[in-house]
Chain A
Amino acid sequence: MGHSVVGPCVSGDWERVVGSATCCLPDESDLTLRSRIPLTVIGGFLGAGKTTLLNYWLRESRGKRFAVLVNDFGAINIDAALIASADSDTIALTNGCVCCSIGDDLSQALIRVLDASPPFDGIVIEASGVSDPWRIAQIGLAEPGLSLDGVIVLLDAQALADNLANPLLRDSIERPLAHADLVVLNKVDLADDAALETARDWIRRNAPSVHCCETTNAEIALPLLSGAHLTSESNTAPPHDCHEHCEHPEHAHSSVAHDQQFATWSCAPSRVYSLVDVKAWLKAPPAGVLRLKGFVETQEYGWSEVQFSGRTGSVRRALASPANPRTAALVAIGLNGSLPVAALISYWT
């Protein structure tokens, strides 16, 4: 029987969630040791808010070092106060993150950040119109040093109906949804009720199994964006102390965190699984799991890294064995009240 923890986080925001999870995990958890670097790919049509999201992501890194690769380097507009140095294809931020131009060659840009020392905590790629985000996302499944952390597709709530009515654009809007792990319906504040309902209805029909969050200014709870924030040791940054309805722009993220309700669950699995079995579970995990990551033992691979995000799961050989097998951990996150704790316990412990 593995060590199992449930972290119901009724009070809501992410700092509390992580706090709750942390206190219950084994002290010297191996969750973050020897992990592959999580790779996230952002898709979405012009105007959906990709650049805004990437700016937010870089700004709100909470002590994690992210490398963000973008197509339209000229469009990135990072607050000058956050910039440590900049040249023609790289901007280094004071918080340790970097933003790099993909230029002509995604491979070379990605190799540069993969080879960085110390390694980044996460890599984010903005997919251009040239590339279906899924084509790029598979690098996260293939490259030994990466794990696929998810495909996030942004939609412009205000423009969606018009874009779908335009035969030139409809297929370009629809296609990326096929492999989305998370749909972000952005600019909901700018859309009228009818447009919003049209957008929600279209998403329900076209991506019925995918979690959709609605945002303004592309501000999303960090654990939904990135597995790098789904660790037992994250968030060394102090929780901000604004009041409930703070509208200070620097703290705009808080409105998201305040009204989102996440729950995490973690355990230290002690049994040895069959690969086929784990793959089957990852193909159709119980409803309510938004993300899951960690280490388990399989008969075929020995120590194995398990990863699930949205609708894509993978299990691959761990890069090394945990120093203390007892502390190898698995963590899952879902909306509070929707996380299928009983099913998680029954399979993973």
Chain B
Amino acid sequence: MPNITVYRAKVIHTLNPMQPTATHVAVRDGRILAVGDLAQASAWGAFELDERFADKVLLPGFVEGHCHLKEGGMWDSPYLGWFDRRDPKGKVWPGLRSRDAVVARLHEIDAEMAARGEPEAKPIIAWGFDPIYFGGERMTVDHLDRVGNGKRPIVIAHANGHLLNANSAMLRWAEISSETEVEGVVKFSEGALAGEPTGELQEPAAMFLVIRKVGNAGLIAPMDDNGMAGFAAICRAQGVTTATDLVNTLGEADLAVLERATGDDNYSVRILPAFKAFHGTHGAAAGAEHVKALMPRSTDRLRFGLVKMMLDGSIQGFSARLRWPGHFNGAPNGIWVTAPSQYEADFETYHRAGLTIHTHTNGDEASLVAIDAIERVLARAPRPDHRHTLQHGQMIDAPMFKRMASLGLCANLFANHLWYWGDQHYEMTMGPDRANRLDACQSALNAGVPLAIHSDAPVTPLAPLFTAWCAVNRVTPSGRVLGANERLSVMDALRAITIGPAYTLKLDHEIGSIECGKRADFAVLEDDPFAVASNALKDVRVWGTVLSGRVFPAIGNAS
């Protein structure tokens, strides 16, 4: 039995510009031995020809440079979002476009629970609901009490994480009534129920009353083995072979879950957890030591060493830090999650420890603070090839990208926002001018900034081809094109989901393109992304993946 396998494909897009396409790839010891035609791939001697991909298209395995494992851990709870979403089992949950549709789905779930003999007191905890798409109409107990016989508590977490809806049964359980006097308990202003809670609970205080009763369940449950398995299944279905978990406290319990899952040869994705270096369990110096002590525990499928910091909040939550002229709707400026001076001091500590730091900066003021701080740190402590990366960077303009290029900073831009919140940014948060340069991918490339694009799953679904589609088309649900000149070519967009993020993770010598010496990581596709219309990029079908030479079909496909 030869230890070389040669895969034949309909076409292999290597994303190596020196050899853009091939038909055969030879794999040995989990690594790419040769790429080209059959003659080149067979040059190393005895091999087994594997024809299973003969009618498929191979790309480098996709690399998601900013997502969270929680993407795989949400699915014990029903999804109520406005957009279609695929779960780890491959089931597509159709988007719900009206409140009646939401009620109907909850009604089905209640009936299923009753049929299974689940007690009436067991709550339904659902997620993904977003009233921003319902033109200002709010969900109330009027709707939710129509589910079943009204006795089962129901909690609906909103997509933005800042709101819940509860039905009357849940309100009673949480002891929320007309007497509850906190701002976040919304009450009917008129009608028969005037003064009674509507069931919408805003912000931490009101939400706490519900969380106190439903406990450590649903979306706030810690990551477990099922969630890890679900995450890997979603990755297989989306062609992802390497993914970050871009904030992890890396305590003993976290490490046990990560090491148990990735220690199994059948685990199909490589995970890079980033240490939470803000509001964390360690001061900066101790945190840097913690990360460095973990690095020797790295394996092929589990890589330690990344550090995550966070400067501001979110744009659609009006908690990002914006420069002049501020929010389009006049909302006050957002918040510093980390004070700028603390950021600079802690950044320097991790930087001097030799680690690569990924910083969450959504608003342009936060990005500027990061660039200024990093410039000073680098003047004090120069370090070649650090690959520090600004994550999200949604409002970075050309002058800032030029500074980033000078400093050796990378950008991982949140291209999915163009679709999911593009209209809201245009109309509410930042107005037309800045919405047109939202996630300015082409400006980043023009300035010479190494570029990746991401989903921030579970904030938006993990699906790199969809993310690439966003960057290529820049279209919103209402049909706007946000900044046509910022649109990426298909090639640049595919690089931004492969070799681009690999570079930001300091793994471009191992992954991100198909060439001799790299890991045998492939996204196996049914369609050729270069052959379809650019507005159909998101519809390219994924068969599965290959990770370090192991073949992993997506659910429903036979190996």
Task: Determine how close the nearest CB of chain B comes to the CB of A238; give it in whole angstroms.
Answer: 36
B204 and A139 within 8 A (CB)? yes
Indicate if B184 sits at the interface (CB-CB under 8 A). yes
Q: Which of B185, B216, B336, B365 contacts A142 (CB 8 A)?
A: B185
Give the contacting residue for A46; candidates B220, B342, B369; CB below 8 A. B342
Q: Which of A45, A89, A105, A143 has the most CB of B within 10 A?
A: A143
A138 near B205 with CB under 8 A, answer yes
Of B220, B280, B284, B336, the residue contacting A105 (CB under 8 A) is B220
Min Cβ gap B280→A in Å is: 6
Which B220-234 residues have C-beta < 8 A from chain A? 220
Least Cβ–Cβ distance between A31 and chain B, in angstroms: 23
Q: Is A144 an interface residue (CB 8 A)?
A: yes
> Among the listed A111, A129, A138, which residue makes an inter-chain contact with B339, where contact means beta carbons less than 8 Å apart?
A129
| B283 A141 Cβ-Cβ under 8 A | no
Contact B204 A131 (CB under 8 A): yes
A104 contact set on B, CB distance < 8 A: 249, 276
Q: How far apart sit A136 and B207, CA to CA, in the bound complex (Å)?
A: 11
Do B183 and A138 touch (CB < 8 A)? yes
Closest to B332 in A: A171
Q: Is the Cβ of A138 less than 8 Å from the Cβ of B182?
A: yes
User: B337–A142 contact, CB under 8 A?
Assistant: no
How far apart sit A141 and B341, CA to CA, in the bound complex (Å)? 34
Minimum CB–CB distance for A199 against chain B, Å: 18
In the complex, what's the smallest C-beta–C-beta distance from A230 to chain B, in angstroms?
A: 23
Against B, the Cβ 8 Å flags (1 = close, 0 = not) of A76-113 are 00000000000011000000000001111111101100
Contacts A74-B286, A107-B212, A130-B337 given; indicate if A142 touches B182 (C-beta within 8 A): yes
A164 to chain B, nearest CB (A): 14
Do B203 and A135 touch (CB < 8 A)? yes
B231-274 with Cβ < 8 A to chain A: 249, 251-252
Bound state CA distance, A17 and B200, in angstroms? 45
Query: Taking the complex as formed, is A342 at the interface, i.e. its CB lies under 8 A from any CB of chain B?
Result: no
Instruction: Check B204–A135 contact: CB distance below 8 A.
Output: yes
Chain A's closest residue to B277 (CB) is A74
A102, A108, A316 — which one has the most chain B CB atoms within 10 A of its CB?
A108
7 cross-chain pairs, A with B, having the tightest CB-CB distances, nearest first: A138-B205, A74-B283, A46-B339, A71-B279, A74-B282, A142-B182, A138-B182
Q: Could you give 13 example pairs across A and B, Cβ below 8 Å? A: A71-B279, A72-B279, A73-B280, A103-B281, A106-B204, A107-B211, A107-B220, A138-B205, A139-B205, A141-B181, A171-B333, A172-B339, A314-B181
Known: A137-B205, A142-B206. 8 other contacts (CB 8 A): A72-B279, A88-B252, A107-B211, A111-B211, A142-B184, A142-B209, A144-B175, A172-B339
A residues with a Cβ closer than 8 A to B are: 45-47, 71-75, 88-89, 101-108, 110-111, 114, 128-132, 135-139, 141-144, 168-169, 171-172, 314, 316-317
